[in-house]
């Protein structure tokens, strides 16, 4: 396996689901971790314990990234750098999945979605780039998008919009930062079972329906995302830049599934 020894990473939204899977894979590859989560709870403490078992350091930061955007992100950045001044990997993963029908969407829900799923990515990258460029640090950035950045759902207009923005952000920031030696890529998971998706998947017939719409027939756990993320920030992926890797079992390339009995 490729090595991330000698590197340090900030992983936002890293105490549960996809973020935790990414943090664990980075730690397994040797990276020191600064872990961000919404709150200092049992899940967060369990994540820190697990990550430290890989023989790396792990510090925990908590906070709601949907707060007043500039002050919130400045505080997160400052505390992360206090813990690990050598951070050269940013995994901007924190996000939200709160949603409802378009005609019933209220400003507050839409605003929170954009703050978490778009603003936090954009301005965290900016803050790290401002630190990395003067010091000539070869930073690596990974933004977590979603298959919803390409495939729309009728009750997820705000979420879909935010994830589409992330995909273009990856491309735009790559063009801006690649000349400075900073790599920017994204990862777009398909449907994976996490604490956020489990309630929907556990409704009668839903998981089987989603498996039918996925070419490999799988709705896996978030662990499928970890190794892909670790690869994209590794030295081996140095020439992969401005790309969105879809980890989705092929769902995004299938026009429609075959009838069940065909």
Mind telling me the catalytic residues? 159
How far is it between the farthest Cα atoms of the chain? 61
Calculate the alpha carbon distances from 253 to 83, 150, 151, 219, 256 in Å.
Answer: 42, 10, 10, 16, 9
Torsion sign (Cα): 56, 60, 66, 72: negative
Contact 62/37 with Cβ under 8 angstroms? yes
- Residue ranges of alpha helices (H) inside the chain are 17-28, 42-52, 69-83, 107-114, 120-135, 157-177, 198-201, 206-212, 225-232
Distance CA 105, CA 85 (A): 41
107: which residues sit within 8 A by CB, 6+ positions away? none
80 token code pair: 């992360």
Q: What is the CA radius of gyration of the chain?
A: 18
């Amino acid at each position: 396996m490729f090595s991330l020894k000698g590197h340090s990473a900030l992983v936002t939204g890293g105490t549960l689901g996809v973020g935790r899977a990414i943090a664990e894979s980075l730690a397994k590859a040797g990276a020191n971790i600064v872990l961000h989560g919404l709150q200092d709870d049992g899940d967060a403490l369990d994540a820190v314990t697990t990550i430290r078992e890989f023989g790396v350091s792990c510090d925990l930061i908590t906070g709601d990234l949907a707060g007043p955007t500039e002050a919130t992100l400045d505080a997160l950045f400052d505390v992360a750098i206090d813990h690990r001044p050598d951070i050269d990997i940013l995994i901007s993963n924190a996000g939200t999945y709160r949603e409802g029908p378009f005609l019933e969407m209220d400003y507050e829900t839409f605003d929170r979605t954009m703050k978490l799923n778009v603003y936090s990515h954009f301005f965290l990258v900016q803050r790290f780039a401002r630190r990395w460029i003067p010091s000539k640090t070869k930073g690596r950035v990974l933004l977590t998008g979603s298959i919803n950045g390409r495939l729309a759902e009728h009750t997820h207009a705000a979420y879909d919009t935010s994830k589409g923005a992330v995909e273009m952000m990856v491309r735009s920031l790559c063009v801006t930062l690649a000349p400075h030696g900073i790599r920017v890529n994204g990862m777009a998971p398909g449907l994976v079972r996490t604490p956020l998706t489990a309630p929907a998947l556990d409704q009668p017939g839903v998981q089987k329906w989603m498996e039918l719409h996925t070419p490999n027939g799988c709705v896996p756990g978030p662990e499928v995302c970890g190794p892909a993320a670790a690869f994209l920030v590794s030295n081996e992926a140095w020439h992969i830049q401005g790309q969105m890797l879809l980890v989705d079992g092929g769902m995004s390339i299938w026009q429609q599934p075959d009838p069940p009995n065909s």
